[in-house]
C-alpha cells in the first residue's frame, strides 16, 4: 500500500513510465491489496465446506497444492525441506495473524491516520547468564 501511494502519480504520467505505472500499480493493487483482503472470506468458505458440507478432500487438495509449490520453491533455492512440516499449521495460525495486520493497515490507510515508529526504551544494560564463559 505504501508503494501504491508513493507512486500514485505514475498512473497519469505520459509515455513508457505511465504505461508501466498503469499496468504495474493495477497488478500491485490487485495481488497485494484486494486479493489478500478477500482471503479471510475464502478461508471461512473453506472452513464451512470442511466442517458442514464434509468436503475434506478440498482442504486436503489445497494443502497438497501448497505443499507441492513450496517443495518446488525450496528445491529451486537449494533449501532443506524439513521446515515444510509446519505448512499445515500456517493455515491455522500464521495466516490469521497476517489478516489482522492487513486489516489494520487497510483501516489505517483508509482513515488517513499516520502510523508512527514504535521505539523500544533502551536502558543500556545487558544481563549475561552465569556459566556462559564470558
Domain ranges of the chain: 2-111
Cα separation, 39 vs 37, whole angstroms: 6
Instruction: Please give the Cα distance from 7 to 25 (Å, whole number).
Output: 8
User: What is the Cα 74 distance to its own chain's centre?
Assistant: 18
Burial of 98 (0-12, 13-18, 19+ CB in 10 A): middle
Among 131, 84, 100, CA closest to 37: 100
Query: Going residue by residue through the chain (134 aa), what tens digit of pLDDT does each one get?
Result: 777 777 778 877 788 877 887 888 888 888 888 888 888 887 788 778 878 877 777 778 878 888 899 999 999 999 999 998 888 788 777 878 888 888 888 888 888 777 677 777 777 777 777 776 55
Task: Give the per-residue pLDDT at 71.
Answer: 94
pTM score, two decimals? 0.53
User: Residue 131 is inside which H or E element, if any?
Assistant: none
Q: How far apart are CA 24 and CA 9, in angstroms?
A: 12
Amino acid at each position: 500500500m505504501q508503494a501504491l501511494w508513493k507512486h500514485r502519480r505514475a498512473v497519469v504520467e505520459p509515455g513508457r513510465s505511465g504505461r508501466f505505472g498503469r499496468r504495474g500499480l493495477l497488478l500491485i493493487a490487485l495481488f497485494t491489496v484486494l486479493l489478500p483482503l478477500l482471503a479471510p472470506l475464502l478461508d471461512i468458505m473453506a472452513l464451512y465446506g470442511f466442517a458442514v458440507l464434509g468436503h475434506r478432500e478440498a482442504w486436503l487438495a489445497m494443502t497438497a497444492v501448497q505443499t507441492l509449490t513450496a517443495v518446488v520453491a525450496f528445491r529451486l533455492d537449494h533449501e532443506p525441506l524439513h521446515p515444510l512440516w509446519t505448512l499445515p499449521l500456517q493455515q491455522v495460525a500464521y495466516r490469521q495473524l497476517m489478516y489482522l495486520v492487513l486489516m489494520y493497515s487497510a483501516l489505517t490507510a483508509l482513515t488517513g491516520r499516520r502510523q508512527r515508529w514504535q521505539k523500544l526504551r533502551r536502558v543500556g544494560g545487558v544481563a549475561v547468564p552465569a556459566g556462559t564463559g564470558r
